[in-house]
């Protein structure tokens, strides 16, 4: 299942039913699990692990050296989960720092020209539309969705099931379940469609909506908003909003 024009290092760990198409290059420290397909002209190098049943479209690059000026050639990792799809020209770079990791979870869909910089961590089920770009050390929660051409600043966090509109500039943390859009980004309520599709109960959606109103009350700062939320929280989804707001942040919460 390896095309004769592909170049695969003899030390790479390739399971038997992996398909490697024309003109692909697979480096020495790469491992690829069962059922994954590299279609054509894909380059995978560095200390990279790709899970099972992934599909990588032409001209994608995985595990290339970080573009970080601090990167000095140390062993740093890139990990792709199971059943993730990388479309044309996606680039995912290895981390900066000895044994540090850039990671993409299971069941993600990264459309054409998406860029994942060093030390980013993506959860499961993340969707990034065409040309969405992440700078270094960004964290994206499970099932978040980024629209086309969205750009995310270094060290920013985006919570689970959040939605970022196309062409948005994200330089502050986006809490889970919310919808933001614009340059600079502004909050526009809940990711209502996404929450209904994911099976959130009416009680959960009601509490998240109430917490949204509390957080974005112009008379509230974040710490006071958290205090008010704690007084009324009844669902696990509400507790997740509180936990995100209380977690350490280098960029601050988008207000």
**Domain assignments of the chain as residue spans, ordered by start:** 7-190, 196-246
Using CA atoms, how far apart are residues 97 and 146, in angstroms rounded to an integer?
A: 27
What are the C-alpha distances in Å from 19 to residues 1, 31, 41, 97, 110?
Answer: 5, 13, 13, 31, 20
pLDDT score of 61 = 98
163 within 8 A of 179, measured Cβ to Cβ: yes
Residue 154: both structure tokens together: 């270094």
Sign of dihedral through CA atoms 93, 95, 98, 103?
A: negative
Query: CATH fold of 7-190, please?
Result: UDP N-Acetylglucosamine Acyltransferase; domain 1 (2.160.10)
Residue 130: both structure tokens together: 């065409």
Integer-rounded Cα radius of gyration of the chain? 20
pLDDT (tens place) for every residue of the chain, 255 residues total:
999 999 999 999 999 999 999 999 999 999 999 999 999 999 999 999 999 999 999 999 999 999 999 999 999 999 999 999 999 999 999 999 999 999 999 999 999 999 999 999 999 999 999 999 999 999 999 999 999 999 999 999 999 999 999 999 999 999 999 999 999 999 999 999 999 999 999 999 999 999 999 999 999 999 999 999 999 999 999 999 999 999 999 999 999
Q: What is the pTM of this model?
A: 0.97
């Amino acid at each position: 299942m390896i095309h004769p024009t592909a170049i695969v290092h003899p030390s790479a760990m390739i399971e038997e039913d992996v398909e490697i198409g024309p003109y692909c290059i697979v480096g020495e420290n790469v491992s690829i699990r069962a059922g994954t397909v590299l279609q054509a002209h894909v380059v995978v190098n560095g200390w990279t692990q790709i899970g099972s049943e992934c599909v990588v479209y032409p001209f994608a690059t995985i595990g290339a050296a970080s573009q970080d000026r601090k990167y000095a050639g140390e062993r740093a990792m890139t990990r792709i989960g199971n059943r993730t799809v990388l479309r044309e020209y996606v680039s995912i770079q290895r981390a900066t720092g000895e044994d540090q990791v850039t990671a993409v979870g299971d069941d993600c869909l990264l459309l054409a020209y998406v860029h994942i910089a060093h030390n980013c961590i993506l959860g499961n089920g993340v969707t990034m539309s065409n040309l969405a770009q992440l700078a270094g050390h960004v964290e994206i929660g499970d099932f978040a969705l980024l629209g086309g051409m969205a750009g995310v600043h270094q060290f920013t966090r985006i919570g689970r099931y959040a939605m970022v509109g196309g062409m948005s500039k994200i330089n502050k943390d986006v809490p889970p379940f919310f919808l933001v859009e614009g340059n600079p980004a502004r909050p526009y309520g809940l990711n209502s469609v996404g929450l209904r599709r994911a099976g959130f109960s009416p009680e959960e959606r009601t509490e998240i909506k109430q917490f949204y109103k509390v957080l974005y009350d112009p008379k509230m700062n974040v710490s006071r908003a958290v205090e008010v939320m704690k007084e009324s929280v009844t669902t696990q989804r509400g507790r997740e909003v509180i936990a995100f707001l209380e977690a350490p942040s280098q960029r601050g919460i988008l207000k």
